[in-house]
Amino acid sequence: MLQTILRRLYSLYVRLRNCPFDVKLAAALRHANSSPKRRIHRPQSFPIQLRVHPKYLQLSSKLAALIRHPFSSRLRKQYRHHKASANQPRLKDDDSIIEDIKKSIHEYKSARVANKSRKPQTTIALYTAIASNYDPPRAPQFLDPRYDYFIFSDRPVPDFGVYRIKPITYISDDPTRTARFVKTHPHHLLPVYDVAIWIDANITIRGDIYPLIKAFLASKKPVAAIPHPYRRTVYEELEACIRLNKDRKEVMQEQISHLKETGFTHDDLVETGFMMFDLRHECVGRFLDLWWALIDRYSRRDQLSVNYAMRQAGIAWHSITERPNNIRNHPLFEYHRHGHANSSRELSNALGVSTLDPYAGIPYSRVRNERIAAQRQRRIDIVIYVQNALEHVKLCLESLQSTRKSARQRLIIIDDGSDQPTQEYLKAFVRRADSAELHRNDTSRGYTKAANQGLAASTADFVIVLNGGTIVTDGWAEKMADTAYSLPAVGIVGPLSNAASHQSIPEHRSSLNQAAINELPPGYSADDMNRLCEKWTVVDVLPRVPLVHGFCFGITREAIDKVGYFDEQNFPNGYGEEIDYCFRASDAGIGLVIATHTFVFHAKSKSYADTDRVAFMKAGSNALKRLHGTRRVERAVRSMERNPLLQTFRQKSRALWSTSPILANLTDAHVGR
């Protein structure tokens, strides 16, 4: 305990030594012992058997007194005012600052144009995230034409002409986790770069950091970070996080208990505000996937999981600085308190720049024909689960035949113990249909086993598990495949629908707070809704989500190879098997996306009796909480409910019902199939 206190005192001494104090502050430092209240024993008085490091014994009584009673109230206020003023560029009175920034931006752009034809040996991207205006976009103070600069944001941001402004498409119900997703996914979001450098939005680069990058690359290590200046272990970090209320105490304690159970020990805690990732190392992807999985399941405080994730991925990291040097006292960086802007709005006005909406762009409807054509040669298998409900099955198969445009699409029909009329119809359909095959179970095996039966029969690049009570629309399969193969690291895709829980439009909840079953708007067909969804979707701006509904579940072959099949043991009758699959896929680094440009109608036919359905739902819910934790399941559901991209589609489609009385009479859904 004493060793920890002295270590923190020494770190504070280093920080104070490098601060720009005014005359009165300097006087306080020089005369720290002037008051009797500030006299304390010298550190040398501690018993020698504690083995205190010699450098800590150099703390003078004046310094110790300063730390205990630094300044009078008046001096503390003057110091805070002085520090705040030092961090704020005085834009209105100092035109030279504006001119310097303009010059820096102009030189950066000119150098980029001059070097456009030269391909660098190592491509480097610097990236940050701004979620829910937690931190403002900060003006660039030093620009290097060897790097590309990225801002991922969920709000319009000033376009300084330097940053490539990208939309945040994974939006958690917690803004901190939203930013953490960006931090932990450079291998997905910036896959064409060799090196990705993360910098927190409250840190500004003030000088040339290339020597730091060069030293990192020379080390041949996959990750670089700055040692934490005050704490050495995740267990010390837990104490600080609880004291500072960084997250819910019980969540953090649960995570630390898990680490203790694994026997994890270390003394090299890192600070995660500035990190470098060499994406050419295969282990970096494994590390980042595990890091996010821990953040998603446990605490949003990423410093509680980063060292453990690196250890599990077999990573020895490169130290950018030596303790106690850190971002706060490094001459190449400027550290700001979260939420404190450096007059970015005034700077934007002075530079005459406008804001840029990261979600703006051309509608998907303009590119849909070429995108669909590009997927026509892709092998797509459609696995259809059937258990009676003959009238719905007829409509489903007829829509599949009418929308099938490629001979490389195959239907795999799983008849899970249907009655005689349905069985005879399916046999007749397969005889006359091109590229359709029928697998018959004389007795029902349950949804999960039947779905796995279809997955096992598939050999295609992309497989869609489809409920038999659906009506598909023009280009549906190709657009889902386009989603999976046009965006990096996507392995699971689902469409919008009238009845698919949080993928439903216009309403995802009924008046009884259950999943809604929406009728189509008066005068609109399923294909009409499909075309509207294409108009409402911006090209490649599709929501990345924690969950995808199982009624129409697209999976890439890579995802199947990584994750396997649905869990038959814990979810034998369905009701949670796709949620479990989504969590397992996410933990394996596979992205989940909603294809908002695609609409599939869902009739919600009943495959189970009401009493059985209630029992299956309860069993599935209990299994999910046991396997993945109650908090993770509930947070995923909240994120789907509150996702602003999905809310936009709900609002736009709701306008189609403005004169319809049907909206007020939504049918309560039976969750499931």
* 3-class DSSP state of 590: coil
Residue 531 has pLDDT above 60, yes or no: yes
Which H or E run contains 438?
A: strand 436-441
What are the two backbone dihedrals, phi and then psi, of residue 48, each rounded to the nearest 5 degrees?
-65, -25
Model confidence pLDDT, tens digit, residues 638-649: 999 999 999 999
How far is the first Cα of the chain from the last one, in angstroms, to the nearest whole number? 58
Q: Please return the burial class of 569, using the count of CB atoms within 10 Å of its CB with bins 0-12, 13-18 and 19+.
A: exposed
Whether 400 has a pLDDT exceeding 60, the answer reads: yes
Going across the sheet that includes 318-319, the strands are 163-167, 147-153, 124-130, 195-199, 270-278, 223-227, 318-319
* Token pair of 276 as six digits: 């470098």
Say if 215 falls within a structural domain: no
Are both 379 and 491 inside the same structural domain? Answer: yes
Q: Which residue's entry shows tokens 């939309």?
A: 167
Q: Based on the domain organization, do 348 and 373 belong to the same domain?
A: no
313 with 413, same domain: the answer is no
Region 137-155 average pLDDT: 89
Q: Is the four-CA dihedral 164, 137, 328, 144 of positive or negative sign?
A: positive
Q: What is the DSSP letter of 330?
A: -
Q: How many helices (H) and strands (E) does the chain have?
A: 25, 21
Assess whether 486 and 604 both reside in one domain.
yes
Asked whether residue 219 is domain-assigned, the answer is no
481 C-beta neighbours (distance < 10 Å), count: 27
Residues 233 and 202 in one domain: no
Give the pLDDT confidence of 349-393 residue by residue, as tens digits.
777 778 899 999 999 999 999 999 999 999 999 999 999 999 999
One domain, residues 102 and 190: yes
Round to whole Å and give the CA distance between 140 and 162: 8
What are residue 516's DSSP bridge partners?
668
Residue 37: pLDDT over 80: no
User: In sequence order, what are the residues at sequence separation of 6 or more whose Cβ sits closer than 8 angstroms to the Cβ of residue 378?
Assistant: 408, 461, 462, 478, 481, 485
CB count within 10 Å of CB 589 equals 20
Longest CA–CA span in the chain (Å) reads: 100
pLDDT value, residue 605: 58
For residues 634 and 496, state if they share a domain.
yes
The predicted pLDDT at position 27 comes to: 39
Residue with tokens 């960006």: 182
User: Would you say residue 672 lies in a domain?
Assistant: no
Range with lowest mean pLDDT among 83-92, 398-407, 434-443:
83-92
Q: Are residues 73 and 102 in the same domain?
A: no
| Structural domain contains residue 664 | no
Q: In terms of domains, do 348 and 292 share one?
A: no
Identify whether the C-beta of residue 65 lies closer than 8 Å to the C-beta of residue 74: no
Split into its structural domains, the chain has a count of: 4
Boundaries of domain holding 508: 364-658
Instruction: List all residues 6 or more positions away from 431 whose beta carbon is below 8 Å from its beta carbon.
Output: none
Residue after which a domain boundary falls, among 360, 377, 409: 360
Instruction: Show which of 50, 69, 86 is a domain's final residue.
Output: 86
Q: Which residues of 143-169 are buried (b: 16+ CB within 10 A; e: fewer)?
A: bbeebbbbbbbbbebbbbebbebbbbb
Q: Does residue 107 have a pLDDT over 90?
A: no
| 236's tokens | 């010390």
Quick one: 554 exposed, middle or buried, by C-beta within 10 A (0-12, 13-18, 19+)? buried
In a shared domain, residues 412 and 551? yes
Which residues, in sequence order, are CB contacts of 182 under 8 Å at separation 6+?
127, 129, 131, 152, 168, 170, 189
Confidence of residue 89 (pLDDT cuts 50, 70, 90): very low
Tokens 């209990």, located at residue: 622
Whether residues 372 and 510 fall in one domain = yes
For the stretch 415-473, pLDDT in tens is 999 999 999 999 999 999 888 999 999 999 999 999 999 999 999 999 999 999 999 99
- Mean pLDDT, the chain, integer: 84
> Nearest Cα to 445, choosing from 418, 466, 425?
418
Residue 656 has pLDDT above 80, yes or no: yes
Average pLDDT rounded to a whole number, residues 616-645: 93
Q: What is the pLDDT of residue 51?
A: 44
- 570 pLDDT exceeds 70? yes
Residue 443 lies in a domain: yes
Amino acid at 361: G
Percent of the chain surpassing pLDDT 90: 66
Last residue of a domain, one of 86, 111, 131: 86
What is the arithmetic mean of pLDDT over 609-634?
87
Contacts of residue 187, Cβ cutoff 8 Å, sequence gap at least 6: 196, 277, 279, 284, 285, 288, 489, 589
Interacting residues of 643 by C-beta distance below 8 A, sequence separation 6+: 171, 502, 543, 545
Residue 150 located in a structural domain: yes
User: Residue 93: its pLDDT value, please?
Assistant: 46
Neighbours of 127 (CB within 10 A): 23
| CATH of residue 376 | 3.90.550.10
Same domain as 435, residue 549: yes
In a domain, 190, yes or no: yes
Classify 329 as helix, strand or coil.
coil
Q: Is residue 666 included in any domain, yes or no? A: no
Is there a contact between 336 and 342 (Cβ–Cβ < 8 Å)?
yes
Sequence-distant (6+) residues with CB within 8 A of 214 are none
350's CB contacts (< 8 A; 6+ apart) are 91, 98
Could you tell me which of 78, 97, 65 has the C-alpha nearest to residue 23?
78
pLDDT exceeds 80 at position 529: yes
